[in-house]
Amino acid sequence: MIELESILNIENDLDYKVHFAVYNGQEEPLDTFLRDKDEWQGWNEWRSGRDDFNRQFIFSLIRFYPQNNKWLFGGIYEVLKRDPDRYRIRLVDKHKGLIGRLLIDYPGSGSRGRSFRFENHYYMMKVAEIFESEYSGETFRGFDQIQHSFEKLEHIIKKQKMDWKRALLNVKGVYLIVDKCNGKKYVGSAYGEQGIWSRWESYVNTGHGWNEGLSLLIKETGIEYARKNFQFSILDFYSMRTDDQVIIDRETYWKRVLCSREFGYNRN
């Protein structure tokens, strides 16, 4: 690996604080960055009781949770004003073309603190990889590797990630939704002419996919509840040539095995 400073020149390191953006107890900054760049900027604007960003510039890094000790470059921001409850900042042009592309190898701050003196970290950072284009989320790794939150699935579907779409659009199957807040389960199926992609797209749009038990829940709690708590996985998958009755029978089997009628959200 080569040193970060050899490709990303910072003229006066004493003008910078480094922001190691990590999980805040509710979501990962990488998920926010992928979903909405304005929301990501908000992570850098947030101000606690301390004057964390008390230098002119913020060198912002996003914890790249698919790999250990990796950070995605999130941009350089200039601090224009320090209000009591937030920093007023602007994204500067310097190294803007590397945002979301430059992956840095570094163990990090060693703590959950959010800002640190840049000069204490910069010279030990290495370049792990430079993506050809801005990182847009993980690639499809197989039907048996899906254990994804609603938020991750929402990003995949709204971005129309073609590797995922090609895979999920061309299979029927039985899927599982787990409510991580209370452990309740919902077993669903996709058959007919719609693949799993189309079925899951309805969840992204509604939060409940028009299922009775989930509809009642989302009516009371709102779609944010689904974003925060729902996890998706696939129990069985079949080619589109498979008879629909096979899928229906497998769905019934999994409802019985997982007791999702008695203790979950299934209503039939």
**DSSP per-residue letters across 85-134:** SBEEEEE-STTGGGTTTEEEE----SSS-SEEEGGGTGGG-EEEEE-SS-
Is residue 35 over pLDDT 90?
no
The top-level CATH class assigned to 143-258 is: alpha beta
- Yes or no: say if 108 and 124 are a contact pair by the CB < 8 Å rule: no
- Yes or no: say if 103 and 40 are a contact pair by the CB < 8 Å rule: no
pLDDT band at 25 (very low <50, low <70, confident <90, very high): confident
pTM for the model? 0.70
pLDDT in tens, 125-179: 999 999 998 998 888 989 999 999 998 899 899 889 999 999 999 999 999 999 9
Nearest Cα to Cα of residue 65 among 36, 17, 120, 108: 108
| CA-to-CA separations, 63 to 38, 47, 131, 210, in angstroms, rounded | 18, 19, 16, 35
**Hey, what are 145's tokens?**
């590797």
pLDDT in tens, 222-256: 999 999 999 999 999 999 999 999 999 999 999 99
pLDDT in tens, 41-61: 999 999 887 888 899 999 999
Residue 84: CB atoms within 10 Å: 6
| Angle in degrees, 0-180, between the axes of helices 196-206 and 162-169, rounded to the nearest 10 | 120
- Yes or no: say if 177 and 230 are a contact pair by the CB < 8 Å rule: yes
Query: What stretch(es) of the chain map to CATH 3.40.1440.10?
Result: 143-258
